[in-house]
Structure 1
Amino acid sequence: MKFKKNILLAAMLPAGLVLAQNSVAYNVVPAGQPVVTGEPSRVGAPWNHRSTFNIPGTQTDIAFGGYIKLDALYDFDYDQWLVTDPFSVANENNKTTGRTTFTAAESRLNFRTQTHTEHGTIKTYVEGHFIPDESFNLRHAYGEYGGFLAGKTWSNFMQMVGSPRTLKLGNPLGYTFERQPQVRYTLRGDDGFFAVALEDSDTPLVSDAGVPASSESRLPDLTVRYQYGHSFGISGVVRELATNEYLANTDDSTLGYGVAARGALPLGSRLVLKGNTMVGTGLGNYLNVIPEGAEAMRTPDAIILGDKLESVDFQSYGLSLEYRWEDGWSSAIGSSYVTQDLPENVAGLQEFADSIQFSYANLIWDINEQLAVGVEYQYTNLERLDGESIDANRIQASALFHF
C-alpha cells in the first residue's frame, strides 16, 4: 500500500512543479465563489490560499494546496502522542519524567477541481495528511453539485463557527470534530443555511470488561444543521447504536441523540468570545478524539452490560477568548469540560475517564499569508471513574508553511 501511495505522489510532483513555474500572486476569490475559467486566482481565506489553473481546452479549473507543519512538543508528566490526546493521561503506561518530540505528521496535501457546466459547477476535493503513522492517509474526498454533496468530509453535526484557533490539531477537547462518509443537501439563504445529511454510523462500543466491542448499525446517522452567518450554529443528530450475537455475543440496539451549538461574539474590534456546548447520549463518536479510531477506549457511544446495550450520556462545554494584536500577532486562551456518565460499579471501566478539563493559552504570529509560528501551553485534568485525579502539562511550538 505504501508503495502505491509513493508512486501516486511521485506522479503528481512533476505536474505540480510545472504549475509552480507559472505561479504568481493573484486576486483573492472568496471561498465558495466560482473561479473564472482560464484565469489563475487564489481561492479561500488567507490562511488557506491555493493557486488555481485552467486545464487548456476544458471548463475545469484545478488547484493544489496544503501546508507543511512542524510541531515541537514537550510533555512534562504524560506522553500525549504526536497530536495532543488528553485522554491518554488515563493510561499509567504513558507516564514520563519529561519527553521531547518533533513531528511533521500533521502536514497535508489537497487537490481541488471546479468544472463549469450549463447547469452549474461541479466541485471535487481530496485531502490527506500523515497522521497517525506518517504514511499518507485520507482526510477528505467528496464532490458537490448545487446543494448536493457526497463523499467523506466534516460531519454535518459539526459546526464551523466559533472554532478557537489553537496549535493543537482540531478544536479543543469537547468540540464536535468528525469526518464521515455521507450524503448531504444544503439549502442556502441570504443570512445562513440549513443542511440535512445521512452519515456513516461509526459506533465505538466497549464491553463491561473494558475492551472494544464490534458494532453493526442497520441505519445511517441522521444529522441536521443550521448556521446563521458567521456568528451562530446549531445542529442535531439521531442515530441507532446496535450490535448482534455474531459480533459481540449480544443482540441489542438503543437510541443515540444529541444537540450541539457554537457561537462567536465580537467584543470590540479585536476581541472575540467563542462558546461551544454538546449534550446528548451516544455521542462519543462525534467528539474530537485523536487518534482516530480510539474512541471506544476513551468516549464509547454505548456499553455492553450482560445482554443489554446501554448508551452513554455525554455533556461538554467550552469557552475561549481571542485577541488580535498589531502586526499579525494574536493570542487565545480557553478551557473546555467533558463529562460522560459511565456505570460506576463495572470493574473493567474503572480506568476510563469520568470527566476531563482541557485548557490552553497561545501566542501566534502570522508573519505573512503563507507563514505562521506560535507557542502554546496545554493543561489537562482528568478524573478517572475510580476517583483518581491526574494532571498533565504540555508545551507545543509550531511553524506552519502554506502553499
Structure 2
Amino acid sequence: MNRKQLKGLVAGGVSALALAAAGQASAVDFVAGDTTFTLYGYAIGKMSYDLNENIGDATGGSFGPLTDDEYAEGYTDLDASQSRIGFQVTSDMNGDPVVTRIEGDFRGGSGVESTGVGQFRLRHAYGSWNGLLAGQTWSNYNSFVGTTAKLDFGGLAGDAGYQSRLAQFRYTVGDFSVAVEDPVSDIAFGDGSAPTGSFGEKDSLPALTARYEGSAGNAGYSIGGIVRQVEDNAEEDSVTGYGTFVAGSYDFGAVSLQGVLNYVDGAGSYLYRSGAPDAYWQDGDLETVSAWGGTVGVSVDAGPGTINLSYGRTDVDDAEEFGADEVHENAFLNYMWQPVENVTYGIEYAYYSADDMDGEKRGDANRISVAAQYVF
C-alpha cells in the first residue's frame, strides 16, 4: 500500500485506520431507481504495550495518567471497540441529491475491562440537501488536510480545530462553509472568587464557525474560525471567545508534508487535546484562556507501505491560574501496509509527555501498538 492509498483510509478521523466516507469502493451498495443505499464499516483489532504507566486502552493513549512517580511499569491491552458500522442513503432529486447518513462505533462507555467491549456510540446522524446540512457530524471548526496517518485513535495534540462531532446546522457554498453548532464550554474554578451561586456554565448562544478548504495543484489548505460566548450559569458574567487554525499539506510524489497551527482565546475547549478551559474566575470576573497548538508530519512511501512520522504540541498561557497542564506533546512513528485490498496492518511507536501548571515535567510515557483492520 503506497501513501496515496493510505490517505484514502484517513476518512474524517484522526486515526489512519479510519474508514473512508460512505461511497468508497469497498462499501456495499444497493441501488433502487434513483436511490442508493450504502452499507460500510470495519472490524479492527488493536494491541498496545505501555512501557511505563498505563496511559489508556489499546485504541489510544491519553495525557491524564502521566506521572513521574515510581509506579509499576509495563501494561498490555487488546481492544476492538473502535470497530464501526454505518449506512448512507442517497436519493437523486433532479441533480440535487438528498443524503442521509447514520454511523456509530463501540467507543461509548469504552474501557469496560470485564469484556473489552464498549457500548454503541452514535458518531454521525445527519441529512443534507442543496448545501444545507442538519444533524450531528464533524464540527465545521475542524480539518483533516494537515493530518498525518497514525494508529492511535486519539491522535496528535494540536490537530486542527475541535476534531470531533457536534450537532449543527451548516451551509456550504463551494469550498466555503458556515455553521451554528452546539457549544462546548468549560469554566475553571480559578481563584475561587465566583459569585455566590455561580457554578458551571450556561449555553445561551450557539457557537458560530466558518471554514474555507481547498487545493491548488499538489497543495491542500484549510483555514477555520470560531466565535462563541462563555457565560456562567448564574449569568453573573460572560466573555467572548474565539479561535482560528490553518492547515496545509504538500505532495511531492513519494513524500508528503503536513502541518497545522492553532490559536484560541476563550475557546480552550476547541484546542485539541490541550486540556484547557475556556475561561476562569479571577477577582470575581471571568478571564479568557489563551493557548496555541500545532502539528507537523511527514509521510514516505517505503516498500509495500508507508512510513509516517508526526509531532504535536499544545501550550496554555497562565496555566497556574486555573490548575491545568501548561504543555501537552506527543509523537508517533509508524509503518502501515495493505497486503490485500480492504485489509490494513500497522505497527506504531508513540511518545506522550505533559508539563504541569508550573511548567515542570509531570510525566512521560512510551507505547508500542499494532493493529489489523478489515473493511467492508
Whether the TM-score (by the shorter chain) exceeds 0.5 is yes
1:116-195 correspondence runs (5 A): 116-118=92-94, 120-133=96-109, 134-175=118-159, 176=161, 177-188=163-174, 193-195=175-177
- Structure whose residues are more often helix by fraction: 1
3-state SS in 2 of match to 1:120? coil
Identity of aligned residues (%): 29
Q: CA deviation at 1:43?
A: 5.7
Greater CA drift, 73-82 or 91-100: 91-100
Q: CA deviation at 1:92?
A: 7.5
| 1:72 equivalent in structure 2 | 47
Number of equivalences: 338
Distance 2:287 2:370 in 1: 41
Structure 2 counterpart of 1:364, from 324, 332, 336: 336
Task: Give the structure-2-normalised TM-score.
Answer: 0.83
Whether 1:215 aligns to 2:201 is: yes
Structure 2 counterpart of 1:228, from 214, 217, 220: 214
Amino acid at match of 2:340: N
Structure 1 counterpart of 2:188, from 186, 189, 206: 206
Distance 1:308 1:91 in 2: 33
CA contact (8 A) 1:166 1:172 kept: no
CA contact (8 A) 2:241 2:288 kept: yes
- Residues 152, 161 of structure 1: CA spacing in aligned structure 2 closer, same or farther, 3 A cutoff? same
| 1:243 equivalent in structure 2 | 232
CA contact (8 A) 2:298 2:310 kept: yes
| 1:401 equivalent in structure 2 | 374
Distance 1:332 1:113 in 2: 34
CA contact (8 A) 2:66 2:353 kept: no
Q: CA deviation at 1:91?
A: 6.0
Amino acid at match of 1:381: S
Q: CA deviation at 1:261?
A: 0.9
| 2:354 equivalent in structure 1 | 382
Q: CA deviation at 1:159?
A: 1.3
CA contact (8 A) 1:90 1:384 kept: no
- Residues 93, 115 of structure 1: CA spacing in aligned structure 2 closer, same or farther, 3 A cutoff? farther
Q: CA deviation at 1:385?
A: 1.0
Distance 1:316 1:131 in 2: 26
CA contact (8 A) 1:178 1:288 kept: no
Output one character per residue of 1:163-188: Cα deviation in whole Å (capped at 9) or x when no partner. 11100115422113121111111111
Distance 1:318 1:135 in 2: 31
Output one character per residue of 1:144-198: Cα deviation in whole Å (capped at 9) or x when no partner. 102111111111110131211100115422113121111111111xxxx011111
Whether 1:341 aligns to 2:317 is: yes
| 1:255 equivalent in structure 2 | 240
1:83-122 correspondence runs (5 A): 83-90=59-66, 96-118=72-94, 120-122=96-98
- Residues 283, 396 of structure 1: CA spacing in aligned structure 2 closer, same or farther, 3 A cutoff? farther
CA contact (8 A) 1:89 1:392 kept: no
Distance 2:69 2:38 in 1: 44
Distance 2:89 2:70 in 1: 43
| 2:112 equivalent in structure 1 | none
- Residues 241, 85 of structure 1: CA spacing in aligned structure 2 closer, same or farther, 3 A cutoff? farther
Unaligned runs of 5+ in 1: 1-27, 32-41, 290-294
CA contact (8 A) 1:178 1:286 kept: no
Unaligned runs of 5+ in 2: 1-7, 12-20, 110-117, 193-198
Distance 1:321 1:119 in 2: 39
Q: CA deviation at 1:241?
A: 0.9
Distance 2:321 2:288 in 1: 16
Greater CA drift, 280-289 or 377-386: 280-289
Q: CA deviation at 1:252?
A: 1.3
Distance 1:137 1:199 in 2: 20
Q: CA deviation at 1:108?
A: 0.8
| 2:30 equivalent in structure 1 | 53
| 1:281 equivalent in structure 2 | 265
Distance 1:98 1:209 in 2: 38
Distance 1:94 1:401 in 2: 39
Distance 1:345 1:312 in 2: 10
Amino acid at match of 1:402: V
Structure 2 counterpart of 1:310, from 287, 292, 302: 287
Task: Give the structure-1-normalised TM-score.
Answer: 0.78
CA contact (8 A) 1:278 1:315 kept: yes
- Residues 95, 187 of structure 1: CA spacing in aligned structure 2 closer, same or farther, 3 A cutoff? farther
- Residues 89, 320 of structure 1: CA spacing in aligned structure 2 closer, same or farther, 3 A cutoff? same
- Residues 353, 90 of structure 1: CA spacing in aligned structure 2 closer, same or farther, 3 A cutoff? farther
Q: CA deviation at 1:333?
A: 0.4
Distance 2:350 2:146 in 1: 19
Amino acid at match of 1:377: Y
Distance 2:333 2:319 in 1: 34
Distance 2:278 2:262 in 1: 14
Amino acid at match of 1:98: G
| 1:37 equivalent in structure 2 | none
3-state SS in 2 of match to 1:89? coil
The structure with the largest alpha-carbon Rg is 1
3-state SS in 2 of match to 1:285? helix
Distance 1:95 1:209 in 2: 32
